[in-house]
């Protein structure tokens, strides 16, 4: 993440666009429903989008053709659900590609799939699972954000491995190679993102009622 412009073969780039499109379309439907039923949610949607944009713009070089950074999608996944974050993440990645040269247009589908689809779905699943097990809100949010971040990079490792398998060990070896390189920077970044997301959720605690209403509307309430 972000895989840079032109780095993926055309067939891979097209395939990731096709894989991402249904999630983005479904997310747009869910987003429209939330905004229609609760227009006040627009401010919190903007905050979640800004959080994702800022965190995911803080990049550091990692694997050739890619970079490491927080993703920021865990917060939105917890509040609005993973479907909405498919749309929000796509918007963020599109603006970053156009304005900051982070990622690219040809690789947008692949970057959306890893950061705006897989990451938020993992965050949401961890959030729901840990909450049902009785974990505190802070622990549930921390694990959701941190593991969603790591899932994004695990997915990117697979994407790169599929495009550039290792000559000796094939795709499996390439996944291990890319994943191990990412781990050096991504594990501490994931921990930091988890802690920051907990802090932001605590800051939003005064709007707990609003968050509960949004989660109920989006179908992501506990």
Reference 162, options 94, 110, 105; nearest CA is 110
pTM recorded for the entire structure: 0.88
pLDDT in tens, 75-101: 999 989 999 999 999 999 999 999 988
Mean pLDDT of the chain: 87
pLDDT of residue 44: 85
Q: Work out the pLDDT band at 148, boundaries 50, 70, 90.
A: very high
Reference 107, options 3, 24, 1, 11; nearest CA is 3
pLDDT of residue 175: 93
Q: For the structural domain made of 10-218, what CATH number should be given?
A: 1.10.1760.20
Beta strand pairing call for 67-68 and 60-61: antiparallel
pLDDT at residue 11 greater than cutoff 50: yes
Q: Per-residue pLDDT averaged across 36-49, rounded?
A: 86
CA-derived radius of gyration, the chain: 17
pLDDT in tens, 175-214: 998 888 888 788 888 999 999 999 988 887 665 555 555 5
pLDDT in tens, 185-194: 888 889 999 9
Contact 88, 52 (CB under 8 A): yes
Rounded-to-integer distance, Cα 28 and Cα 161, Å? 30
Q: Print burial letters for 89-127: b (CB count within 10 Å at least 16), e (below 16).
A: bbebbeebbeeeebbbebbbbbbbbbbbbbbbbbbbbbb
pLDDT of residue 203: 80
pLDDT at residue 173 greater than cutoff 90: yes
Q: What does each C-alpha distance from 68 to 55, 136, 221 come to in angstroms?
A: 11, 29, 31
């Amino acid at each position: 993440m972000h895989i840079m412009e032109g780095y993926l073969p055309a067939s891979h780039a097209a395939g990731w666009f096709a894989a991402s499109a249904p999630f983005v379309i479904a997310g747009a439907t869910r987003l429209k429903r939330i905004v229609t039923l609760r227009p006040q949610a627009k401010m919190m949607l903007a905050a979640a989008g800004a959080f994702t944009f800022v965190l995911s713009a803080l990049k550091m070089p990692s694997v050739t053709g890619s970079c490491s950074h927080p993703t920021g999608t865990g917060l939105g996944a917890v509040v609005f659900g993973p479907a909405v974050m498919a749309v929000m993440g796509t918007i963020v990645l599109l603006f970053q590609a156009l304005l900051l040269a982070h990622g690219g247009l040809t690789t947008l589908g692949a970057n959306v799939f890893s950061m705006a689809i897989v990451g938020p779905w993992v965050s949401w699943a961890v959030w729901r699972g840990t909450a049902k097990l009785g974990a505190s809100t802070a622990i549930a949010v921390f694990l959701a954000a941190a593991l969603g971040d790591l899932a994004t990079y695990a997915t990117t490792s697979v994407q790169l491995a599929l495009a550039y398998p290792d000559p000796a060990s094939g795709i499996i070896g390439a996944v291990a190679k890319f994943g191990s390189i990412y781990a050096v920077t991504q594990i501490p970044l994931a921990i930091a993102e988890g802690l920051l997301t907990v802090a932001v959720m605590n800051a939003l605690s005064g709007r707990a009622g609003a968050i509960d209403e949004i989660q109920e509307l989006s179908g992501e309430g506990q």
